[in-house]
Chains A and B, each alone.
Chain A
Amino acid sequence: MQVRVENVSKHYVGIAALDDVSLTVAPGELVALLGPSGSGKTTLLRTIAGLEVPDAGKIFFNDVDTSEGRIQDRGVGFVFQHYALFKHMRVMDNIAFGLRARRKGKPKESEIKRRVMELLDLVQLSGLERRFPTQLSGGQRQRVALARALAIEPSVLLLDEPFGALDARVRKDLRRWLREIHDRTGHTTLFVTHDQEEALELADRVVVMNKGKIEQSATPDEIYDEPGTPFVFSFIGESSVIPVQVGNGRATLDERVLDIDIGGLADGPAQLYLRPEDVVMMPEGPGIPGLVVSTRRIGGMRRVTIECGLARHRIEFDAPAEIPIENTQRLTIRITGGRVFGSGEEGYETERLASSATSNFKWRKAEA
């Protein structure tokens, strides 16, 4: 089932939750809607499900306009972050609910039971059919919720942060398991997440959203290697950003020319976005001088933060752990990659806590 979103907008009290969003999901695709809170990803998911009505735009399932017609008839399987299981019904009644609720084409009770057992098998919960939701663990509950959604043979499967309420270990297991289920059943699936690792690991395609708009919709590799906007660059993976000047087709930092492709950017101030792997330490020779301000071990590498340039911009990069690097050490780096974006486009901002060096608060040492 192909899902097509055409110019959908939705506003809440003056804030645009969705701002002219368009998207096409191919049949059988597993698509992740990724973004920070408030980006509109959940609103988009709920609008596709029919749980929200857009102020403008249309949604098409296989070229059929869904705006006429009831939610009950859309055949959407929806899984909530907090499961929303029917607490007063047993597992098997939860799963059978959609089948029993059908007016046309309601299967016989024996057929319903058979399907329920089949699904329990699929989600690996056979034997638990007579339990009540309160007697299950979080991971088990989520699998019941999924089985319940699959029972109605949905045209589209929609999951709203399905693993958000589970602990890390369970989350990882269920992630892998969801991918397997998808490959086996072939449903068109959309899921919402704010966890980029999850999105990049699971999805055929990742749709990065920010403030009600789609920033980029591409494969996980493309999202990581070829981010289209500063937001995508800074939201995915690690990044640093430094201001540079563009002129004569080149980018310069404090008069030093940087050996990077700037595309067709206009002259003037710009932002250079870097990943740690875009920076290389030079043992000697020409390069950009920097002052080490902090280091920490990450696995087999050492993550170094240095301050470069007159304005002391901070850049992070990785060096092999064997090389001893300490604070206040001076070293030289070369920038070998990254992307330059025009200034005025926003990246993903998080609050920067002031470093202790700039604070005047004096601690009294505890008496020994």
Chain B
Amino acid sequence: MTAAAPGAAQTFRWRRRSVLPGFGLSLGYTVAYLSLIVLIPLAGLAISSASLGWAEFWRIATNERVLLALRLSFGAAMIAAIVNTFFGVLVAWVLVRYRFPGRRWLDAAVDLPFALPTAVAGIALATLYAPNGPFGMILDDWFNIKVGFTPTGVVMALIFVGLPFVVRTVQPVLEEIERETEEVSATLGAGRWRTVTRVIMPGLIPAILTGFALSFARGVGEYGSVIFIAGNLPFKSEIAPLLIVIRLEEHNYAGATTIAAIMLIISFAMLFVINLLQSWSRRWFGHV
């Protein structure tokens, strides 16, 4: 909420006056830190990719291997985000509304992908879904689905990584829902299904969309959890971040920078969309 000075004499106020001290110090430190850690390095990337020239940039970007890697990263992230949205809402619902033994621990478990290093998750998932791993065998024998070292494996890893984003975004909104609107809905004669879909869900949509976007954004860039299970075959099961690492090892900085720039642009676009969603929901629903 930025202040607009009322009245005729319009002095440009870029911040609202406050009695609390420490604004200069805290903001100054914050901006300095961000500049050093974020802005300057990002500028470096921008400069590097710009220095390539548009033609070269385009040539690298439309290379078949690059395109396929990008398609895998984005496609798998999309599928994983959809799965996470569905199950994430379910998990959030169950955690908020039901009481059962071990609920707190289950709630803590949702944070596991946040706290567990990606490499650890990576080797664990690879072992589980490998053709001779427990889940890999079950899926292969019963459903004829091969997961290990295939794009499907990428999706599984991204489901793991992105789940908490949906749950943690939807959970607080669910907790804040007034029970009274549900009670009123019941007294007015609405069955449970109608109450859930017409009264409760609409309020959750912004949070669900935000969770989806966060899960998707995270999945696109994920590296450590994926490379062990993915197979990493060029043109087939190679994710974009891996391609960047390969290019770096080849000292092909132009190639690495190009792919990174593309991914960064899309990341920013996602961030922008997420923020739009959040401010839209704040306007209509009064909360994120």
Chain A contact residues, CB within 8 Å of chain B: 49-51, 70-78, 80, 82, 84-88, 97-98, 101-103, 134, 148-149, 151-152
A84 contacts B181, C-beta separation under 8 Å: yes
Knowing that A84-B180, A84-B181 touch, tell me 17 more A-B residue pairs with CB under 8 angstroms: A71-B187, A72-B191, A73-B189, A74-B187, A80-B184, A84-B183, A87-B286, A88-B203, A88-B285, A97-B185, A101-B191, A103-B191, A149-B187, A149-B188, A151-B188, A152-B188, A152-B189
Chain A CB within 8 A of B284 CB = yes
Chain B contact residues, CB within 8 Å of chain A: 178, 180-181, 183-191, 194, 198-199, 202-203, 284-286
B187 contacts A86, C-beta separation under 8 Å: no
Interfacial chain B residues near A85, Cβ < 8 Å: 181
Name the contact of A72 in the complex, choosing from B178, B189, B198, B203 (C-beta under 8 A): B189
Q: Tell me the minimal C-beta distance from B233 to chain A in angstroms.
A: 48
A82 contacts B178, C-beta separation under 8 Å: yes
In the complex, the number of residue pairs spanning A and B with C-beta atoms less than 8 Å apart equals 66
Q: Tell me the minimal C-beta distance from B32 to chain A in angstroms.
A: 40
11 A-B pairs with CB atoms under 8 Å apart are A70-B186, A71-B187, A72-B190, A84-B183, A86-B181, A88-B203, A101-B185, A101-B189, A101-B194, A134-B286, A151-B188
A84 contacts B178, C-beta separation under 8 Å: yes
A77 contacts B187, C-beta separation under 8 Å: yes
Most B Cβ at <10 Å: residue of A80, A82, A87, A148: A87
Interfacial chain A residues near B202, Cβ < 8 Å: 88
CA distance A149 to B285 in the complex (A): 23
B183 contacts A51, C-beta separation under 8 Å: yes
Interfacial chain A residues near B199, Cβ < 8 Å: 86
Interfacial chain B residues near A78, Cβ < 8 Å: 183-184, 187
CA distance A282 to B194 in the complex (A): 71
Q: Please judge, given known A-B contacts A82-B178, A84-B184, whether A102 and B285 are in contact too, CB under 8 Å.
A: no
The 7 closest A-B pairs by CB, nearest first: A98-B188, A84-B180, A101-B190, A88-B202, A78-B187, A71-B186, A84-B184
The closest CB in chain B to the CB of A74 belongs to B187
Q: Tell me the minimal C-beta distance from B47 to chain A in angstroms.
A: 46
Interfacial chain A residues near B190, Cβ < 8 Å: 72, 97-98, 101
Interfacial chain B residues near A101, Cβ < 8 Å: 185, 188-191, 194
Q: Tell me the minimal C-beta distance from B119 to chain A in angstroms.
A: 43
B189 contacts A98, C-beta separation under 8 Å: yes
CA distance A86 to B194 in the complex (A): 13
Interfacial chain A residues near B181, Cβ < 8 Å: 84-86
The closest CB in chain A to the CB of B187 belongs to A78
CA distance A49 to B284 in the complex (A): 31
Interfacial chain A residues near B186, Cβ < 8 Å: 51, 70-72
CA distance A103 to B191 in the complex (A): 9
CA distance A148 to B185 in the complex (A): 10
CA distance A149 to B187 in the complex (A): 9
Interfacial chain A residues near B187, Cβ < 8 Å: 49-51, 71-72, 74, 76-78, 149
CA distance A151 to B189 in the complex (A): 11
Q: Tell me the minimal C-beta distance from B207 to chain A in angstroms.
A: 13
Interfacial chain B residues near A88, Cβ < 8 Å: 202-203, 284-285
Q: Tell me the minimal C-beta distance from A73 to chain B in angstroms.
A: 8
Interfacial chain A residues near B183, Cβ < 8 Å: 51, 78, 80, 84
CA distance A247 to B203 in the complex (A): 68
CA distance A327 to B237 in the complex (A): 95
B203 contacts A87, C-beta separation under 8 Å: yes
Interfacial chain A residues near B178, Cβ < 8 Å: 82, 84
Q: Tell me the minimal C-beta distance from A69 to chain B in angstroms.
A: 12
Q: Tell me the minimal C-beta distance from A67 to chain B in angstroms.
A: 16
Interfacial chain B residues near A151, Cβ < 8 Å: 188
Interfacial chain B residues near A74, Cβ < 8 Å: 187
The closest CB in chain B to the CB of A72 belongs to B189
